[in-house]
Amino acid sequence: MIEVFAPSSDSEDVEVEKFYEEIEKAKGYLKSQDIIIVVGDFNAKIGDERVENVVGPSGIGTVNERGSRLIKWCQINDFTITNTMYQNRPRRQWTWKNTGDRSRNNIDYILIQKRFRNAVKTSKSLPGADCDSDHIPVMCKFQIKLKKLRKPKANP
């Protein structure tokens, strides 16, 4: 599991590119057969339009420049954004509320490799959690059955 915190929306594009390079660097430490889950605040709005197997039908809002960058990264690295795959009540979809404003956005995501997307049973935000933040925690429930690898017996 890789936890991330993206630069804010008023950061330079160079910082955003460095952010994605850091994720790639963290992925480099993992084995190819590992289940990779990337969780965190991406400060990106991905919108409500379905994009291949990356964005599901349950996104909210409109896509912004950072959202396009996140979708592009997911396409290149074969990741799915789990928050958008399941139909939830609107209250369970948004993850950030602007203080003093009524606007709500989805900028916190859980990404999982496409080959494991069928293991995800649900993904939603938990708006009632007391976490002293303007962000709402996001949870994902997945069930996976791992196969035990057996080493071949060595001949003496």
User: How many structural domains are present in the chain?
Assistant: 1
Domain of 132, CATH number, reads 3.60.10.10
* Residue-wise DSSP of 19-49: HHHHHHHHHHTS-TTSPPEEEEE----B-SS
Taking alpha carbons only, the member of 131, 109, 129 closest to residue 120 is 109
User: Are the beta carbons of 49 and 21 closer than 8 angstroms?
Assistant: no
Q: Which domain holds residue 112?
A: 2-142
Q: What is the pLDDT along the chain (156 residues), one digit of tens a residue?
A: 888 888 877 888 899 899 999 999 999 999 888 899 998 888 888 877 778 888 877 777 778 888 888 889 999 999 998 888 877 666 666 566 666 666 667 778 888 998 888 888 887 776 766 666 667 777 788 888 877 878 888 877
User: For the segment 74-114, what is each residue's pLDDT rounded down to a tens digit?
Assistant: 999 999 988 888 776 666 665 666 666 666 677 788 889 98
Question: Does residue 156 sit within a domain?
Answer: no
Helix axes 65-77, 13-28, angle to 10 degrees: 20
Taking alpha carbons only, the member of 3, 4, 139 closest to residue 82 is 139
Residues in the chain: 156
Q: For residues 67 and 89, give the distance between their C-alpha atoms in angstroms, rounded to a whole number.
A: 22
Put residue 73 in one of left, alpha, beta given phi > 0 → left and psi -120 to 50 → alpha: alpha
Question: Does residue 155 sit within a domain?
Answer: no
